[in-house]
Amino acid sequence: MTIAETAKHLRAQDDILVITHVRPDGDTIGSGSALCYALQKLGKKAYLYNNPQFGDAYPWVSDKYVAPEGFKPQFIVAVDLADVGLFPKGFDGKVDLCIDHHGSNTFYAAETLLCAEKASCGEIIQELVKELLGKLDPAVADLLYIAVSTDTGCFCYGNTTGDTLSAAAELCYAGAANAYLNKTLFRTSSKERLALEGLIFSSLRYYSEGKTVIAVVTKEMLEKSGAKDSDLKDIASLPGRVEGAFASAVIKESEDGKCKISLRTTGVVNANKICSMFGGGGHAMASGCMMEKSCLEAAEILAEAIDKEY
């Protein structure tokens, strides 16, 4: 579907529920909230599915848009959600419309608006909001700025394009509080987060003569630092700061005996290709997967897979 077709489709709906992905980030939350805001401005009932992990992400963004108890949706929209395996905990319904920017999207929804060239889902929603409302206002600009800036690491990641910067500029002109949001999102950390970063940086693992850097985050490290899930936002970017690193990963120990892998690359190797080998996926420079291995075993397996791609 195109932006115009999607807007027309949404105008014909009501009682709309927007779902965000498991372990929600700023892009899925900002995009979903912005879509709800625009649809509500049109007089429609539109809310976010109450993702049980909102509290670990940006509750100050999502809380205002969460569906009230007893709400019965007639139309389901997924934002920034490439596959059914990423559905939020507790949701198992069908999806009528998916709005996404992942090239790995599996087209599970009845209709799909996919713009894989976009750095964030927020950039797509930005165009959709303008189609629905005719303009951007400061309230929706804030929500979209959260989406666009977080998925690009405050415009530092390799997925940032000229179009991304143009979108951000448009949001600033529309009244987004970029200075406040940048400080809140990117330059404010809890003491527990800083303690965890110290443990991560002191235990980095180097492979392929330093071209690959992997950080292992164990339950013991979380306990020692006192870090909670809300302190883990964007830890995937930390090992990539090492000079000479072309690929970096964070491998986090889970309670169920598995480990969660977040892989980032500079484009020299394809992160989506690597993670697809282990049942995951995402973008060429940012992808993820799970392994039923110990963190140390997973690090060796992942490093070997990456090395073969150099």
pLDDT in tens, 201-244: 999 999 999 999 999 999 999 999 999 988 998 899 999 999 99
pLDDT at 22: 93
Total structural domains within the chain = 2
% the chain with pLDDT above 70: 100
pLDDT cut 90: percent of the chain above it = 94
Q: Could you report the per-residue pLDDT of 143-198, keeping only the tens digit for each? A: 999 999 999 999 998 899 999 999 999 999 999 999 999 999 999 999 999 999 99
Backbone angles phi, psi at 79, to 5 degrees: -120, 130
pLDDT band at 255 (very low <50, low <70, confident <90, very high): confident
Q: Of 186, 201, 223, which residue is a domain's last? A: 186
Q: Write the CATH number for 240.
A: 3.10.310.30
pLDDT tens column, 54-98: 999 999 999 999 999 999 999 999 999 999 999 999 999 899 999
- Asked if 115 and 239 sit in the same domain, the reply is no
pLDDT (0 to 100) of residue 258 = 86
pLDDT grade for 137, boundaries at 50, 70 and 90: very high
Span of 7-21, 101-115, 162-176, 253-267 with lowest mean pLDDT: 253-267
Question: In this structure, what CATH number is given to the domain that contains residue 41?
Answer: 3.90.1640.10
Residues 179 and 235 in one domain: no
Q: Are residues 87 and 60 in the same domain?
A: yes
3-state secondary structure of 94: coil
Closest CA to 151 of 26, 6, 2: 26
117-121, 230-234, 260-264: segment of lowest average pLDDT: 230-234
Per-residue model confidence (pLDDT) at position 83: 94
- Answer yes or no: do 57 and 160 share one domain: yes
Q: What is the DSSP letter of 67?
A: P
Contact 263, 83 (CB under 8 A): no
Domain boundary among 142, 161, 186: 186
pLDDT at position 257 over 80 = no
pLDDT, mean of residues 36-48: 98
Mean pLDDT of the chain: 96
List b or e across 53-70, with b for residues whose CB sees 16 or more CB atoms inside 10 angstroms. Answer: bbebbbeebbeebbbeee
d(CA 266, CA 231): 25
Do 199 and 113 belong to one domain? no
Q: What is the pLDDT of residue 118?
A: 97
Domain match, 285 and 224 both:
yes
Same domain, 19 and 140: yes
* Structural domain boundaries enclosing 11: 3-186
Among residues 186, 215, 245, the one where a domain terminates is 186
